[in-house]
Amino acid sequence: MIPPQIAFWRNLRDLPTAVNLSAFVTGFIITLVGYTGPLLIVLQAAQNAGLSAELTSSWVWAVAVGNGLTTCFMSLWYRQPLFAPWSTAGAALLVTSLVDYPYPQAIGAYIIAGAAVALLGISGLFGRAMKLIPQPVVLGMLAGILLRFGLSLFTALGSDTTLVMVMLVTYFVLKRLHFRAPIFGVLIAGMVMIGVQGQLNIQAVPVALTIPHLTLPEFNLTATINLALPLFILAITSQYAPGQAVLQGAGYIPPINGVLVMTGVASVISGFFGGHGLTLGALTAAMMTNPDAHPDPHKRYSAGVMTGIWYTLFGLFGTTVVSLFATFPAALVTVLAGLALSATIMSSLANGLAKPEQRDGALMAFLCAGSGMTLFGIGAPFWALVVGVLVNLLLNGRKAADTKTNSS
């Protein structure tokens, strides 16, 4: 077996012959999907928390450039199409939770979550960790966290009915036509509409490289419980687990422990500049693992490298991206974010409620997380996990124990 460090240079040498037009285009499309969907959640979280343009631009730089460089490195290291995006579910959590903590404490929580991911990879206990909390409970919590984004699709109708209706119709028409990136089409339709309405002012958008802002962390127990713990759990369950399944479905043997270490270390580094965590790609990553990205599975890693290069280039101009989206009406950004997360909400609810014996725990987690409640200074996502697990144990604990005894 060739050592990874030697294989890295071999794969880098082979890259020019592995790259084709499909890999190049796939990387560009994945980047556009990320910038017209998940990035908006980051921008909403930053806006709700009252972060300055400087800190917001640094956050975008940290997750985009961090994603790009980590994706390139992992794809070359393992010769697999490995994608390291920021956690969309984690960003959604921060939309409501970040406002409650000083920014340095949030940075400390990001670093703790990243370090925990890396330690999990070093320990090799990923499989055991996944069994501690039932998957339906986590999916219920995730759907509850994202609920407000789905509801905002309709609350936005009152602010600009025509714009919202055009964007909604465009999205579903493009889905009916099996368009590869419907969110990108929705963005174009929305920009055309606000241009017609005279609300598009791209002349004021500066084209400038981002200067990342280093923030020294503060470590706080409450921030660790309310931010770091949910970020860690959401990353493991909503990103790494399905991301591993996507790779296995495409015929690859995912190096999950190595990926955990690499993304965890990258998360710690990017955390100092505002990045809330890099993970293993799941749904979007499926675009680079199928034959459309490259007909040869052995050369498909080139799609990962191309995606990483595109993300790095876009990320270097984080200030420009933040300024561009700042010129958009609130309704446009709200609808884009809601549509980008609609598939996640749908799959979370469907899979969380799929098993009748675990529906109660998943439902309670969903309702608790969606309520936005706070108890003893600890936020709803943590209590959603507690309530969901307790309900699941109360209803299924004895049954699960009996099943385990009988099987042995």
Convert the pLDDT of each residue in 109-151 to its tens digit.
999 999 999 999 999 888 777 677 787 887 888 788 778 878 8
Is there a domain that residue 248 lies in? yes
The percent of residues in the chain predicted with pLDDT above 90, rounded, is 37
- When mean pLDDT is compared over 188-192, 215-219, 373-377, the highest value belongs to 215-219
Query: What residues make up the domain containing 27?
Result: 4-346
When divided into structural domains, the chain yields a total of: 1
Is there a domain that residue 356 lies in? no
Instruction: Please state, rounded to an integer, the average pLDDT across all residues of the chain.
Output: 85
The pLDDT of residue 180 is 67
The pLDDT of residue 114 is 96
Structure-model confidence comparison of residues 101 and 289, the more confident one: 101
pTM over 0.85, yes/no? no
The pLDDT of residue 377 is 64
The pLDDT of residue 403 is 42
Distance CA 317, CA 347 (A): 33
* Residues 57-65, mean pLDDT to the nearest whole number: 93
Is there a domain that residue 382 lies in? no
- Are 356 and 249 a contacting pair, CB within 8 Å? no
The pLDDT of residue 18 is 92
Convert 328-343 to b/e letters by CB count within 10 Å (16 or more is b). bbebbbbbbbbbbbbe
Is there a domain that residue 86 lies in? yes
Is there a domain that residue 161 lies in? yes
- For residues 251, 257, 261 and 262, what is the CA-based torsion angle, rounded to 10 degrees? -20
Is there a domain that residue 63 lies in? yes
